[in-house]
């Protein structure tokens, strides 16, 4: 379990954003990182 930050997306925010995220393609390397965690990291960097 990781530490939560004030910049983390709430479930409601993620439910709004998730349909607009690109779907995984049927080829190439599978994703190893959750897109929600990547967005959380981006928002953290932007706020700091």
Q: Does 47 map to a domain? A: yes
What global pTM score does this model have? 0.79
Rg, Å, the chain Cα set: 12
- Which residues constitute the domain of residue 43? 1-18+34-48
Q: What is the pLDDT of residues 1-48, one digit of tens each?
A: 788 999 999 999 999 999 999 888 889 898 899 999 999 999 999 998
Could you write out the three-class secondary structure of the chain? CCCCCCCCCCHHHHHHHHHHCCCCCCCCCCCCCCHHHHHHHHHHHHHC
CA pair distance 9, 46, nearest whole angstrom: 13
Residue 28 domain flag = no
Residue 4 lies in a domain: yes
Q: What pLDDT sits at residue 17?
A: 96
Q: How many degrees, rounded to 5, is the angle at CA 17 between CA 46 and CA 36?
A: 60
pLDDT at residue number 23: 87
- The domain total for the chain is 1
CB 5 within 8 A of CB 40: yes
């Amino acid at each position: 379990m990781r530490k939560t930050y004030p910049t983390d997306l709430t479930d409601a925010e993620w439910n709004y954003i998730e349909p607009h995220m690109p779907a995984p393609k049927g080829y190439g390397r599978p994703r190893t990182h959750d897109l929600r965690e990547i967005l959380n990291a981006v928002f953290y960097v932007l706020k700091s």
